[in-house]
Structure 1
Amino acid sequence: MSLPYEKMENIGTLIPFLFSESQKGFPEGKTPNEIIEGFFEKYTSLKSEDERIDLMFRIIQYIERQVVLFDSIEDAAFTSLHPENGKGSIANLYQLAQQQGNLDDVKAKLQDFATRIVFTAHPTQFYPTHVQQIIQDLRDAIQQDSISTIDSLLQQLGKTPFINEVKPTPYDEAQSIIYYLRNVYYQTVGRLNNDINQTFFGTNQDKYKSFIELGFWPGGDRDGNPFVTADITYKVANELRTTILKNYYNHLKIVRRRLTFKHIAEPLEDLSKVIYHEMFADKGSITVDDLLNPLYTIRQTLINEHNSIFIDTLDDFVGRIKLFGLHFASLDIRQDSRIHQKVIDTIIEFYTGISCNELNDEERIEILINPSFTVNATDFEDEIVVDTIRNIYQLKQIQKQNGERGVNRYIISNSESIFDVLNVYALFRFCGYQHDEIKFDIMPLFETIHGLDEAENTMNKLYNLPIYADHLSRRNQNQSIMLGFSDGTKDGGYIKANWEIYRTKEILTNVSNENNIKVIFFDGRGGPPARGGGKTHEFYAAQGKTIANHQIQLTIQGQTITSNYGAIPQAKHNFEQLFSAGIYSEVFSSSQSIIDEKERTLIEELAKISYQKYEDLKAHPSFMPYLINMSTLNYYGKTNIGSRPSKRGGDKELEFEDLRAIPFVGSWSQLKQNIPGYFGVGTAIFDLKNQGRINEVKDLFNSSAFFRTLIQNSMMAMQKTYFPLTAYMQNDKEFGPFWNILHDEFELSKAMTLEVSGYDTLMQDEPLNKASVLMREKIVLPLLAIQQYALDKIHHESELKEKYEQMVTRSLFGNINASRNSA
């Protein structure tokens, strides 16, 4: 309450009054205008609109910092609330395996299992890097109970800007996540990987395996981001390589401090010089083997001449190099299938004079896989064509410098046919790659309902295409496939999207097995349930044996990085939980992870009914106008939080198909309506209840871990919903009826999920998370009142419209940051 803000002496005492006015006023049906104006009249002497606007901006600043303080307190409490060797930990997994006599089964599964966390820069996190660092320092100070340090940090926080003056570049975004790679994941993942190896396989270096791997999208994800260029990709790849070498250099100091023995100290010093030189080299000249081979020799000397003293210290270092190589995290390349098609069409027409539209499928395949030309970027003027060609050429150089693991996956967004995959294969061929030089997993991303429906047909055709079958044989018969939860939910609604992805995984598992292909699924998941987040660990533990379980791969982004993986204790816990979930679902699977035919039919019914309800909502003439005019949708692009535009399609008129999942879901979240997280769930269950079948749904909740997790995640979305905030909209002539549709479905969904679960309240089974949600919602309620007030002023064309628009944009920050527990 005494933070050193300019003109903010009384802010800390005024906010509780604004909260009280909001908490009482909204349920009584008061409008945001009535609440804010009443607050000013009762508790301030401010009369001019400029003065009131200034105070509201100060309140926003204050609430932003309240959220940061609460983040730090939760982080500080983490270790006391999550026992280090509790359920889901590696130690617990080993003990359980021993107790149940399944240790050999676990070891066998570990030979064919790994986890890959892929970090993305999708803009769901509004904290600049310097604020993130203050959060970490605050967490440490709170854990140490250092009041003086806490006070100093809060003062620092009071004077530290929370907003970016300009949009970050893709390189800035990469640097932000590389900070975590260097300071959190090198230690966490390195130790955890070594722990898994030693716990289950002892110190035998020959059996060492990388169980937890890291992936990286900033700098490689071109989908809808014109600022990711070939130059940026190379720059990020080089930064990843330099960063891991810096980690090795510092780690080697620790090793050298212990291994001071004859015939060991000197070679370690030589290795240190090699690493130091490479850290500053423009182009890499060493391989991973150049680092490992001297260490293997040193290890043998340590055994033969020095009684293996400190061998665990050396093995720890060797393990890190095996895990992180010269790449640290594997850089993925991603682009939209429609862009690839444009580039392919342009190239073929330029060199052959043939239009792809004139070719039948056989002719098209032939020209794609056996081109009669080699492309040159200088032959073209279109920027996207030129840069795509440059990028394909440079990937070979990146693999040479960072190792093949440095960049070896090419992901195709919006995949719907075999040509979406073959177009990428063709790009490599067009750029002079021989068939055996394409050392890439070419990954379709099925994310629309149509794409998911076509996935089986697409993959079956690919598997039976000789040239692609040859490619897969060179990739060890492995095919990686990505599924998009975010866009799937946006396109098909909550139950439908999750069930379609589940079924698609089963179908693709079968078609892959039939073709002797090992399929690996990669899930594009966001933080909130509406984008595939929520109870992530439970989701994977609930997957039955009908779905291939060779790896768990998923994206982690924005607020989820900082909240779940931003500090060593949280990162260790969540990496362990995710890794163990895959083992539990395979070795310790229960009947609850098996969905029988009767249950499938029931889920299918629920998905169909809820999908129709959601489709009707999307088809409503007020759907897009409501989002555009009544939500914060138009303000996401003004927040300077991410390098990527908030929609595809450039400056053309906004269409639903071009709208990205993050601003779509985020806009519903800002309204506290969270539609994508539950809409249609209530109608579906109620329909079956009217048929006298409610007990079937109750039985499904109790018997199916998949369905139960789905409903519990939906409850989380509803817990963070607050319709009284926008109740004034029901009186709007244009949007009142539409608001009522949304509100009625929320009330129905809440009632039906409570009835099915037998709970008295939402999130009844998650007291910790629920307490966090409730506290955060309490903190941001005054912020939401201000945001709605500002939106109303904008709609009524206030003379100070520009200032109110700035207010809406600023209010986005604290509200989104307060939702970190959605992950």
Structure 2
Amino acid sequence: MPIPETDSADDKDQPLRADIRLLGRLLGDTVREQEGEAVFAVVERIRQASVRFDRESAREDALPAVAPADEASRAELAQLLNKLPRETMLSVVRAFSYFLHLANIAEDQHHIRRRRAHELQGSPAREGSLEHSLARVVAAGVPLARLREFFTVAQVSPVLTAHPTEVSRKSILQAQHEIARLLDGRDRMQLTAGERADNERSLRRAVLTLWRTRMLRPSRLAVVDEINNGISHYESTFFSELPRLYGELEELLARSFPGEDWDLPPFLRIGSWIGGDRDGNPFVTADILRSALRLQSAAVFDFYLHEVHALGGELSLSQLLVPVSPALAELAERSPDHSPHRADEPYRRALTGIYARLAATARALDQHASERVPLGAAPPYADSADFLADLGTIAASLREHGAALLADGRLRRLRRAVQVFGFHLAPLDLRQNSDVHERCVAELLASAGRLPTPDAYSRLGEEERIALLAAEIASPRPLYSPLLAGVELSRATADELAIFFAARELRARYGAAALPNVIISKTDGASDLLEVALLLKEAGLLVAGETPSLAMNIIPLFETIDDLRRSAAVMAQLFALPVWRALIASRDDEQEVMLGYSDSNKDGGFLTSGWELYKAEVALTETCARHGVRLRLFHGRGGSVGRGGGPSYQAILAQPDGAVSGQIRITEQGEVIASKYAHPEVGRRNLEILAAATLEATLLAREQETDPAPLRAVMETLSQHAYRAYRGLVYETPGFDRYFRESTPISEIAELNIGSRPASRKPSQRIEDLRAIPWVFSWSQCRLMIPGWYGFGSAVEAFLAGHPDGLATLRRMYRSWPFFRSLLSNMDMVLAKTDIGIASRYAELVTDLELRDAVFARIAGEHARTRRHLLAIEETDCLLADNPSLRRSIRNRFPYMDPLNHLQIELLRRHREHAGEIDERARRGIHMTINGIAAGLRNSG
């Protein structure tokens, strides 16, 4: 299955093309050997027909409708695909899906190759690297004190979340990792002919393993499975690459500021929601929360024990040849290792003692047994700070006696890991919907006699609720005690309280950093935050009194368009409450606010969502500054542009002035987690980008319009027009929900065993109740990507109608305003992946012909307007003109994605025509096409 010939690539891309050809050839050989010559011949005919169709359709310049010249190739392709026997069809789906997975591996390796080539050639530091960002900071004359202040307050945290768009099984990912490792070996080393042949045989074995490994899960993932999947990225990437990145940054700082000592605080950490996110997921319970922390802790102890054991093998220094510090000597004396063979090796004896204490700690915290039995008994560590102190004793002794080089290797990285990961691995957030908190608080107030019934609370106005809640928070009296006779809570309320009581227990066991945050989904008023404060008080995590203290951050999540518009007013109302201001003071005057990209997009469309998020950030920044509170924004972004995705570096630099201020958290969701962090070097690069962008956004003045007010007025006008267009289609068109469910594989996606939570928040067919993730994922599968562009064309057209010089204004906005440029750049990428011709075939699945024709005509017309106006503003004649490598990548994928889309349509039709008769093979085929198309798009959910 060779890569199709397209526009000639630069010489630097030839190794990529060679790798893809190699992997395609090995996959083709595997299909021939395992499925037979006849199946291989079918795959090749389909591939060749698809390549011809792709070339003839001239996608970059095609109009929304399918051109007549394309019909012959399309008909040939459809004829080949539609008459396939079921089993052959499944083999074809697997072949094209795996080719797309292999192409992804080759592209990731090529990014690594190009980065190494730049470094070997001594090229200037690239944009997005810490070296480039630090050079800009130095060139701008930022004072050293200001730079040190940045690192003192900085917090940069990608947060892993469990969402159902990661469609690859862990077994598949492991086989892919092996292929990546073997490709890397071919690239980095000069192999002999025999070594190269061995490498190719190993690649053949890995491809065969991939082919013979089941692509789909037989049952839905449990939350514990999601927790383990998340932990696997620490084992593959974060344990090794985070400490390495810190070391590189400290060395860069030392070179940039000679004579200065740099020991950075752990400002870059990986967070998690997996096992703490209860919103819409009834399977996350107090016991699951305990399991999440136990599994995380066990993983980090396994890593520490391995590293300490390895250090013992490395630090064989003899006291007969080099002196040691008194503190190190004392540490060695406390060790249970009394072997005469190591009597003169104090570092080894000290490490044996540390290993024994670590093993004892793992047993005490998690009943977790170490792989190697310690040499003797030792007391457990009280906390990770004690462990870090012992490692510091070893490092100090090495430095004092001429062995700093040894202190700066594995030991330095381990010390940094302990600072970052502690004994808990990752800070785990709790999240729940505000409606659930409201019901819980209402029942507690009624059970304590503060209200006659739970319903009485729902009838209170917002001001009345605030007054009642503020009084209860200030009171030391609890609302509920399990010892009170005759008071019994509902199961739902008891389960919610159990989460908070478990949080108090787990914080005492693993440390406060293990569970630092409570996030409130669907926040729309100040009472939502006060309700959580009251629940924390019930669990002993808020202490009332003259100087109240709050143990966890309470974080509102503003999601809908209306909620974003009210967000600053809600926070101002809270800061004006003495009880809340006192609680924030106990949290070092910091307030975190989370902004929802996904639901705001589903609510108001791409353009309005982006603009309302921007305005909310400006207003929240001003509000917090006015009240003397440091704001930290948490961006709830997904993988796709429709859910806030896109390049992280540009997204952070496009934030309003003052909105970053050294602190930023960003969700990493779905298939993007594996794409960004499964490979160690790719993972380190993505972490570096986040840190570099935060550094620049905080310390460097941005190039902004001298007077942005007129541009903001233009953006407001565009947003209003786009909002009307989007809402008019999605929420005001009769039957649109039916069109969506019939023209996309949403029902089949809901059946996939790719996540532990349901696709909808409520058991209904309403789009309002559907989660944003399957909403976006479904439109991606049928290649329409509506959440990433719909409404923009109508907005520009309406604006130009009233402004004769409007195009010049929009072009100036694009050139001078990073926010607007980032918005359009992301839309450009989405449109490049959109295929209106293929989408028209999905529309044929809609059984109501009048509805089908009316809705698709509107979508196709808006697509044409959007594309035309985008290219006019960017002053180019093709999409992705400024990113030719991505353009080639997408173009090269089309011939392998198109057959999957055609087969998915045919399988959907067959499956739905026989809805009463479950055909497992058809269902399996649909699910495999979903997997393959997601792999081809890469950021689809």
The TM-score, its normalising length taken from structure 1, stands at 0.93
What does residue 397 of structure 1 align with?
Answer: 505
**Are the counterparts in 1 of residues 760 and 770 from structure 2 also a CA contact under 8 Å?**
yes
Give the C-alpha shift of residue 599 in structure 1: 1.2
Deviation at 1:199, TM superposition (A): 3.1
**Counterpart for residue 292 of structure 1:** 388
Counterparts of 2:427 and 2:540 in 1: how far apart (Å)?
24
Find 2:765's aligned residue among 654, 661, 681. Answer: 654
| Structure 2 SS opposite 1:452 | helix
Tell me whether 1:330 sits opposite 2:445 in the alignment: no
Deviation at 1:141, TM superposition (A): 1.1
Equivalent in 741, 745, 749 of residue 862 of structure 2: 745
After superposition, residues 117-516 of structure 1 pair within 5 angstroms as 117-145=158-186, 146-200=199-253, 207-261=263-317, 262=319, 263=329, 264-265=346-347, 266-283=349-366, 286-306=382-402, 308=404, 310-313=406-409, 314-352=411-449, 353-354=452-453, 355-357=456-458, 359=460, 360-361=464-465, 362-367=467-472, 369-370=474-475, 372-376=477-481, 380=488, 382-433=490-541, 434-435=543-544, 438-516=550-628
Q: Distance in 2 between matches of 1:8 and 1:384?
A: 56
Q: How far apart are residue 249 of structure 1 and its match?
A: 1.4
**1:113 alignment counterpart:** 154
> Which residue of the other structure, out of 695, 705, 721, is the alignment partner of 2:834?
721
| Matched residue, 1:783 | 900
How far has the Cα of 1:6 moved from its partner?
5.8
How far off is 1:282 after superposition?
4.5
- The answer to whether 1:3 aligns with 2:30 is yes
Alpha-carbon distance in structure 1 between the residues aligned to 2:478 and 2:147: 51
CA distance in 1, matches of 2:279, 2:261: 40
In structure 2, relative to structure 1, the CA distance for the partners of 1:167 and 1:35 (3 Å cut) is farther
1:743–1:345: structure 2 CA closer, same or farther, 3 Å change rule? same
The code of the aligned residue for 1:80 comes to R
Distance 1:733 1:311 in 2: 74
Secondary structure of residue in 1 paired with 2:851: coil
Q: CA deviation at 1:798?
A: 7.8
Using the TM superposition, name which of 323-332 and 672-681 deviates more.
323-332
Query: What's 1:12 paired with?
Result: 40
Per-residue deviation, residues 421-473 of structure 1 (Å, max 9, x unmatched): 11111111123442456310100000111111111121011111111111111
Residue 581 of structure 1 deviates from its aligned partner by 0.9
Report if the CA contact (8 A) 2:662-2:698 is conserved: no
How far is the alpha carbon of 1:371 from its aligned partner? Answer: 6.9
Deviation at 1:251, TM superposition (A): 1.7
- 1:536-615, aligned counterparts within 5 Å? 536-592=648-704, 596-615=708-727
Q: Secondary structure at the match of 1:481?
A: strand
SS of residue matched to 1:762: coil
Letter of the structure 1 residue corresponding to residue 363 of structure 2: F
Question: Aligned partners of 2:935 and 2:443: how far apart in 1?
Answer: 43
The separation in 2 between residues aligned to 1:791 and 1:375, in whole angstroms, is 53
Once the two structures are overlaid, the 10-residue window that deviates more, 302-311 or 507-516, is 302-311
Deviations 1:246-303 (A, max 9, x none): 1111222333334334434122221111112223334586301220222333333334
Pairwise CA distance, 1:683? 1.1
Unaligned regions of 5+ residues in structure 2, if any? 1-27, 58-65, 120-124, 187-198, 320-328, 330-345, 368-379
Deviation, 1:244, is 1.1
Q: How has the CA–CA distance of structure 1 residues 62 and 476 changed in structure 2, closer, same or farther, with 3 Å as cutoff?
A: same
Counterparts of 2:797 and 2:915, CA distance in 1 = 44
- Displacement of 1:370 in angstroms is 3.0
Shift of 1:389: 1.0
CA-CA distance at 1:609 after TM superposition = 0.9
**Contact 1:127 / 1:162 at 8 angstroms: preserved in 2?**
yes
- Match of 1:815? 933
Q: Distance in 2 between matches of 1:593 and 1:796?
A: 57
Q: Which amino acid aligns with 1:190?
A: P
Sequence identity (%): 23
Residue equivalent to 1:672: 783
Local SS of the residue matching 1:640 = coil
Distance 2:405 2:92 in 1: 60
| Deviation for aligned residue 1:154 | 0.9
In structure 2, do the counterparts of structure 1 residues 322 and 432 end up closer, same or farther at CA, with 3 Å as the change threshold? Answer: closer
Q: Distance in 2 between matches of 1:684 and 1:391?
A: 46
What is the DSSP-based 3-state SS (H/G/I as helix, E as strand, rest coil) of the residue aligned with 1:647? coil
> Given that residues 250 and 262 in structure 2 are in contact (C-alpha distance below 8 angstroms), is that contact kept between their aligned partners in structure 1?
no
SS state of the match for residue 545, structure 1?
Answer: coil
- Distance change (3 Å), C-alpha of 1:254 and 1:370: same
Over 3 Å counting, the alpha-carbon distance change for 1:113 and 1:172 in structure 2 is: same
In the alignment, is the contact (CA less than 8 A) between 2:828 and 2:880 conserved in 1?
Answer: yes
Which secondary structure does the structure 2 equivalent of 1:281 belong to? helix
Give the partner amino acid of 2:596. Answer: G
- Alpha-carbon offset, residue 198 of structure 1: 4.2
User: Which residue of 92, 97, 110 maps to 1:77?
Assistant: 110
SS at match of 2:750: helix
AA paired with 2:443? T
Q: Aligned equivalents of 2:259 and 2:387: distance in 1?
A: 20
Asked if the contact 1:8/1:58 (under 8 Å) is kept, the reply is no
> Alpha carbons of 1:55 and 1:467: their partners in 2 closer, same or farther (altered >3 Å)?
same
**2:469 and 2:534 in contact (8 A); partners too:** no
Q: 1:380 Cα shift?
A: 4.6
SS of 1:123 mapped into structure 2: coil
Look up the SS of the partner of 2:850 in the other structure: coil
TM-score (normalised: structure 2): 0.82
Q: What is the total number of aligned residue pairs between the two structures?
A: 813
2:819 aligns with one of 691, 706, 722: 706
2:890 is aligned to 773
Q: Which deviates more, 713-722 or 794-803?
A: 794-803
Shift of 1:99: 4.2
Give the aligned residue type for 1:502. Y
- Which runs of 5 or more structure 1 residues have no equivalent in the other structure? none
In 1, distance between residues paired with 2:930 and 2:840? 20
1:36 positional shift:
6.5
Q: Is the 8 A contact 2:81 2:903 kept in 1?
A: no
Seen in structure 2, the aligned counterparts of structure 1 residues 665 and 289 have a Cα distance that, compared at 3 Å, is same
- Opposite residue 658 of structure 1, the aligned amino acid is D
Q: CA separation in 2, counterparts of 1:715 and 1:300? A: 54
1:792-803 correspondence to structure 2 within 5 Å: 792-797=909-914, 802=919
Structure exhibiting the larger radius of gyration computed from Cα positions: 2
Deviations 1:543-587 (A, max 9, x none): 242424231210112221111222111111111111111222233
Alignment of 1:47-66 (within 5 A): 52-66=85-99
Secondary structure of 1:119's partner?
A: strand
Contact 1:15–1:782 (CA under 8 A) maintained in structure 2: no
CA distance in 2, matches of 1:372, 1:798: 58
Is the CA contact 1:33–1:792 (under 8 Å) kept in the aligned structure 2? no
CA distance in 2 between counterparts of 1:545 and 1:575 reads: 22
Question: What letter matches 2:789 in structure 1?
Answer: Y
Output the CA distance in 1 between the equivalents of 2:501 and 2:916: 54
Q: Which moved more, 1:410-419 or 1:731-740?
A: 731-740
CA contact (8 A) 1:524 1:554 kept: yes
Partner of 2:79: 38
